Amino acid sequence: MHRHEQRHALVLGASLGGLLAARVLADHFDRVTLVERDALPERAEQRKGVPQGRHAHGLLASGLRTLESLFPGLGESLAAEGAMRTDLPQTRWILGGRRLKSESLGFPGVCASRPTLEAEVRRRVLALPNVALRDRHDVLGLVVEGERVCGARLLGRRDESAEEVVHAELVVDATGRGSRLPTWLEELGYAAPVEERVRMGMTYTSARVRRRPTHANGDLVVVVGATPEVPRAGAALAVAHDEWIVTVMGYLGARPEPTLEGMRAWASQLIAPDLAALLADTELVSPVATYQFPHAGRRRYERLRRHPEGVIAFGDAICGFNPIFAQGMTVAAHEALALSILLATGRTDGLWRRFYARARPIVDVPWAIATGNDLRIEGVEGTRPAGATLLDRYLDRLLAVAEHDPKVGTAFLRVTNLLDAPSSLMKPATMLRVLFGRRATPALPADTTRPPSPSTSVGHVVGTPPTDDPDAPFRATMRIG
Ligand SMILES: Cc1cc2nc3c(=O)[nH]c(=O)nc-3n(C[C@H](O)[C@H](O)[C@H](O)COP(=O)(O)OP(=O)(O)OC[C@H]3O[C@@H](n4cnc5c(N)ncnc54)[C@H](O)[C@@H]3O)c2cc1C
């Protein structure tokens, strides 16, 4: 392992992204300091800087596997905290109006609340001997010498605090979707990255509710995806033996009353009745929380020609996905591994260019899966790659076959869990099953009694897919709703 002599790395933001960056930086730098504006609790608690903690937070199978490689035994530790171990057959996926069958993945997943997961990761990162935490500190800006960032300006949140400069050889910006790095770059005379946006005006409405053993026949995850006909979705995750966290979502400003009754009414209008049945037979164990998600945004740092040395964006600061697809934490974990591989070479010159080049394909697939689905909803605005409808019929057929064929369902769910590339669905064995397998027809009917969505325009198809990527046309059409 290469270790930079007496070197210091500074990580801005100590949510999942910052913690994962700190974990790998600790292998390569002498000291790592995490800076966070919130006071970080010892235990699993909600906090202001992570409002998403009150909503369903799924960890994809690929994310858990990557986290386990960084934190051996993480799944077991979470289970000891009360989180539930799962496998695909205990999860219920109704996607594209189809109720998918699936087989075991061969390794267990985990259902934990976001505060539980973050607290366990934080505990392990802060136990590293060369990692320090400066919580209750705001990051005000960068410190620059010539073309190199060499630290950040911080302000403690106590009354008597004065601004201070902390020097570092590398600054990792993990301050999330609200990252100010684009503005800081402009202030320093650099161009800001282009940001691609998909505007969806989504609202999340969530609550923890009592879980009974009879709910969902004992399944631990229930996901009812949106479709173009029924642009509303919902999910329930068993985050403890006796507790669900249930989230319902609506596009384009459509949302339920933020009450249990409102969530029940909303769930009754989804394409399948599973969540409504669960909500009909439970009671709240937390207040109802809401979260507005106006748009998904991807900052194209990899396209910049000039960028200062000594700083990189990370996690949601690069790409904030529509949370419905549960991809953000997994992408941050993959970025952490990419950063580790680059640092192991011992070279830090041009790190920003090499890191963003590696982050691009990590973001490409989940971005295409999420936006490909969102842009099918009438009124969602954004750019869909050309060729996006090329394989739609194949995927329609695949989902229909997956209602009977667990091998096809598993192949599909492996892709949405970011374990396999989308092109894996075109392997001959899967194709034969899709083309000749028994299909259930039709898909679950749309509820024609639902109120019309307040959509104003139709998502349009423009742009060009990357030509060097065999998965591109497939990714563009990866529909799970
Ligand atoms: C409603 C919702 C639901 C989601 N559901 C899922 C899911 O099911 N599965 C999944 O994988 N992902 C999900 N995500 C995404 C996931 O939460 C993020 O991808 C993950 O937290 C990594 O983000 P991050 O650490 O880069 O940024 P964030 O989590 O946004 O954290 C940024 C951190 O920086 C701190 N900070 C910000 N500015 C400053 C400053 N100036 N000074 C000091 N500190 C600062 C904040 O307090 C915060 O701690 C969801 C997101 C939302 C919004």
Q: Is 335 within the bounds of a domain?
A: yes
Res. 149: pLDDT tops 80: yes
Integer Cα distance of 74 and 65 in angstroms: 10
> Residues 215, 287: one domain?
yes
Q: Is 331 within the bounds of a domain?
A: yes
Q: How many CB atoms lie within 10 A of CB 395?
A: 20
Per-residue confidence (pLDDT) for residue 376, from 0 to 100: 86
pLDDT-based confidence at residue 437 (cuts at 50, 70, 90): confident
> Residues 160, 278: one domain?
no
Q: Is the CB of 322 under 6 A from ligand 1?
A: no
Question: Which residues span the domain enclosing 128?
Answer: 8-50+65-79+114-196+297-369
Integer Cα distance of 424 and 433 in angstroms: 13
pLDDT per residue as tens digits for the range 322-334? 988 999 999 999 9
Q: Is the CB of 204 under 6 A from ligand 1?
A: yes
Measure 226 CA to ligand 1 centroid, in angstroms: 24
pLDDT-based confidence at residue 448 (cuts at 50, 70, 90): very low
> Residues 330, 274: one domain?
no
DSSP letter for each residue of 101-132: -----SS-EEE--HHHHHHHHHHHHHTSTTEE
Q: State mean pLDDT over 337-356.
A: 95
> Residues 124, 70: one domain?
yes
Res. 453: pLDDT tops 60: no
Per-residue confidence (pLDDT) for residue 54, from 0 to 100: 93
> Residues 286, 213: one domain?
yes
Integer Cα distance of 345 and 191 in angstroms: 28
Q: State mean pLDDT over 389-415.
A: 88
Res. 459: pLDDT tops 80: no
Q: State mean pLDDT over 220-227.
A: 95
Q: Is the CB of 55 under 6 A from ligand 1?
A: yes
Q: Is the CB of 52 under 6 A from ligand 1?
A: yes
Q: Is 432 within the bounds of a domain?
A: yes
pLDDT per residue as tens digits for the range 61-109? 999 999 999 999 999 999 999 999 999 999 999 999 999 999 999 988 9
The enclosing domain of 37 has a CATH number of: 3.50.50.60
Measure 16 CA to ligand 1 centroid, in angstroms: 7
Could you give the number of structural domains in the chain? 3
> Residues 202, 265: one domain?
yes
> Residues 180, 210: one domain?
no
> Residues 32, 122: one domain?
yes
pLDDT per residue as tens digits for the range 270-310? 999 999 999 999 999 999 999 999 999 999 999 999 999 99
Question: Which pair of tokens denotes residue 176?
Answer: 């999330």
> Residues 257, 315: one domain?
no
Task: List C-alpha distances in Å: 258 to 207, 247, 255, 266, 290.
Answer: 9, 11, 8, 10, 7
Per-residue confidence (pLDDT) for residue 474, from 0 to 100: 37
Task: Out of 65, 329, 335, 418, give the residue to mutate to test ligand 1, the one with the largest number of ligand atoms within 8 Å of its CB.
Answer: 329
Q: What is the distance of C-alpha 389 from the center of its chain?
A: 24
Q: Is the CB of 182 under 6 A from ligand 1?
A: no
Task: Out of 10, 15, 142, 163, give the residue to mutate to test ligand 1, the one with the largest number of ligand atoms within 8 Å of its CB.
Answer: 15
Strand ranges (E), 181-287:
195-210, 221-224, 232-240, 243-250
> Residues 189, 327: one domain?
yes
pLDDT-based confidence at residue 347 (cuts at 50, 70, 90): confident
Integer Cα distance of 407 and 58 in angstroms: 23
> Residues 206, 186: one domain?
no
Integer Cα distance of 310 and 136 in angstroms: 24
Q: State mean pLDDT over 45-71.
A: 93
Q: Is 58 within the bounds of a domain?
A: no
Q: Is the CB of 62 under 6 A from ligand 1?
A: no
Domain stops at, among 294, 311, 335: 294
Cis peptide upstream of residue 442 (ω within 30 degrees of 0): yes
Q: Is the CB of 302 under 6 A from ligand 1?
A: no
The enclosing domain of 240 has a CATH number of: 3.30.9
Measure 174 CA to ligand 1 centroid, in angstroms: 8
Mean pLDDT of the chain: 89
Q: Is the CB of 327 under 6 A from ligand 1?
A: yes
Ligand 1 atom nearest to CA at 140:
41
Integer Cα distance of 12 and 285 in angstroms: 34
Per-residue confidence (pLDDT) for residue 386, from 0 to 100: 57
Q: Is 332 within the bounds of a domain?
A: yes
Integer Cα distance of 197 and 218 in angstroms: 39
Measure 237 CA to ligand 1 centroid, in angstroms: 19
Question: Of 98-107, 227-236, 243-252, 434-443, where does mean pLDDT reach its minimum?
Answer: 434-443
Q: Is 449 within the bounds of a domain?
A: no
pLDDT-based confidence at residue 262 (cuts at 50, 70, 90): very high
Q: Is 374 within the bounds of a domain?
A: no
Q: Is 56 within the bounds of a domain?
A: no
Domain stops at, among 294, 310, 337: 294
- pTM over 0.85? The answer is yes
Per-residue confidence (pLDDT) for residue 161, from 0 to 100: 77
Q: Which residue has the higher pLDDT, 69 or 397?
A: 69
Measure 176 CA to ligand 1 centroid, in angstroms: 5
> Residues 287, 348: one domain?
no
Instruction: Kindly state the percentage of the chain with pLDDT values over 70.
Output: 88
Q: Which residue has the higher pLDDT, 453 or 166?
A: 166
Strand ranges (E), 344-444:
383-384
Measure 316 CA to ligand 1 centroid, in angstroms: 6
Q: Is the CB of 332 under 6 A from ligand 1?
A: yes
Domain stops at, among 294, 315, 343: 294
Ligand 1 atom nearest to CA at 329:
11
